């Protein structure tokens, strides 16, 4: 069936460096792609989303890139901080009345 997946299960980044978390998706009919952050012991928290007709969207210290040609999504975090350490999930949604499908997650470890 359709699925959302991630390339790297764990990513270690030095504080101050930029982080890039990748995600491959298979459902070309998805309307939105969303990134969530889950800190230890907490529920996932929305970071940023991008509509399928866009290829880039920027937020505060984060940028999401969408490449529909190769069905690839990435989350870039600028100047990574210790508070960015968490598991990051990509998710996709098709239409307004539909569920989110989550990937399995990438753990980001920020080293000092």
Partner 1 sequence: EAQVTQNPRYLITVTGKKLTVTCSQNMNHEYMSWYRQDPGLGLRQIYYSMNVEVTDKGDVPEGYKVSRKEKRNFPLILESPSPNQTSLYFCASRRWDGNEQFFGPGTRLTVL
Q: Closest Cα to residue 76, out of 17, 3, 5, 28? A: 17
Footprint of partner 1 on this chain (CB under 8 A)?
A: 32, 34, 36, 41-46, 49, 89, 93, 96-97, 99-105
CB of 70 to partner 1, least distance (A): 22
Q: Which is nearer to partner 1, 16 or 95 (CB)?
A: 95
CB of 74 to partner 1, least distance (A): 17
Q: Which is nearer to partner 1, 25 or 36 (CB)?
A: 36
Number of H helices, E strands in the chain: 0, 11
Q: Residue 34 forms beta bridges with which residues?
A: 49, 91
Tokens coding 82 = 């210790």
CB of 84 to partner 1, least distance (A): 18
Tokens coding 64 = 């999401």
């Amino acid at each position: 069936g359709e699925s959302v997946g991630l390339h790297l299960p764990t990513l270690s980044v030095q504080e101050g460096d930029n982080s890039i978390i990748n995600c491959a998706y298979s459902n070309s009919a998805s309307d939105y792609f969303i990134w969530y952050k889950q800190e230890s012991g907490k529920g996932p928290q929305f970071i940023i989303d991008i509509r399928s007709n866009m290829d880039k969207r920027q937020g505060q210290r984060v940028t999401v890139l969408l490449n529909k040609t190769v069905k690839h999504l990435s989350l870039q975090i600028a100047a990574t901080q210790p508070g960015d350490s968490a598991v990051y999930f990509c998710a996709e949604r098709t239409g307004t009345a539909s569920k989110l499908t989550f990937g399995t997650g990438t753990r980001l470890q920020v080293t000092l």
